[in-house]
Amino acid sequence: MRNFIVGALLVMVAVCTVGQEARVVQLSDEDARSAKLSWERLQKAKSDWEVTSAFVKAKYLQVPVTDAEAGSRVILNSLNGGGGPTTMCADQIVGFAGTMPSVVELAKCHHQQVAEAAKHPAMTYRRGFENGFEFSSDFKYVVPTAKVAPRPLPSQFWNVPVPAYGGTQGGGTYGNN
């Protein structure tokens, strides 16, 4: 039994040492500097592209929800967290346990909310641009990204019962009867 355990350990050690023979290739100092510089430029370019895309999206594609070209999805407005009021009135707080302010104070609070909403309206993307955008080849236009339907899982094909030709299912007829 002891010989078996020792033999098994030797086989495991041999497999581990043979299985981990990843070779490492060292670059010259000049090539390493060039690769590092290229990597840093790529990261900077990616960062610049994200900033440019965010700028275009904010300037050209975000519109107030009241706009005629407004889409259906409300997005957050960076100024006030989505176009909602930054001032909460006592009658709007769920479970408010303090003393209720007077009607005049509540009216003032609601008036302040309306003024805030007019100054920083809730925003949405233009209709059709909810899934993002791409630039045209000459970079003069932004084009909506086509919505890609998710690919169905293979199990969705095989788990759906399909009646045979001419058969019935659920009271409807299929084919020529």
Residue 96 lies in a domain: yes
In a domain, 108, yes or no: yes
| Residue 176 is assigned to a structural domain of this protein | no
Q: Which residues contact 129 (CB under 8 A, 6 or more apart)?
A: 61, 71, 142, 144, 145
Residue 165 in this model has a pLDDT that exceeds 70: no
Rounded CA-CA distance 94/107 in Å is 18
Q: Give residue 68's pLDDT.
A: 84
Structural domain boundaries, residue 103? 84-119
Question: What count of Cα atoms within 13 Å lies in the side-chain half-sphere of residue 94?
Answer: 0
Model confidence at 168: pLDDT above 70:
no
E strand segments, the chain: 62-64, 70-75, 123-126, 133-135, 142-144, 168-169, 172-173
Question: Is 149 found in the same domain as 131?
Answer: yes
The end-to-end CA distance of the chain, in Å, is 74
6's tokens: 């020792």
Question: What's the mean per-residue pLDDT of the chain?
Answer: 74
Task: Determine the 3-state secondary structure of 123 from DSSP.
Answer: strand
Residue 111 and residue 138 in one domain: no
90 and 66 part of one domain? no
Residue 85 DSSP symbol? -
The more confident residue out of 111 and 82 is 111
Query: pTM of this prediction?
Result: 0.49
Structure-model confidence comparison of residues 118 and 166, the more confident one = 118
Per residue in 125-164, pLDDT tens? 888 888 888 988 899 999 988 877 777 666 666 655 655 5
Domain assignment present for 131 = yes
- Is residue 24 predicted with pLDDT exceeding 60? yes
CA 65/CA 77 separation, integer angstroms:
11
Q: How many domains does the chain have?
A: 2
Residue 152 lies in a domain: yes
Q: Is the distance from CB of 63 to CB of 123 less than 8 angstroms?
A: yes
Residue-wise pLDDT for 83-128, tens only, equals 454 556 655 555 566 666 777 777 887 778 777 766 767 778 888 8
By the 10 Å C-beta count (0-12 exposed, 13-18 middle, 19+ buried), 141 is classed as: exposed
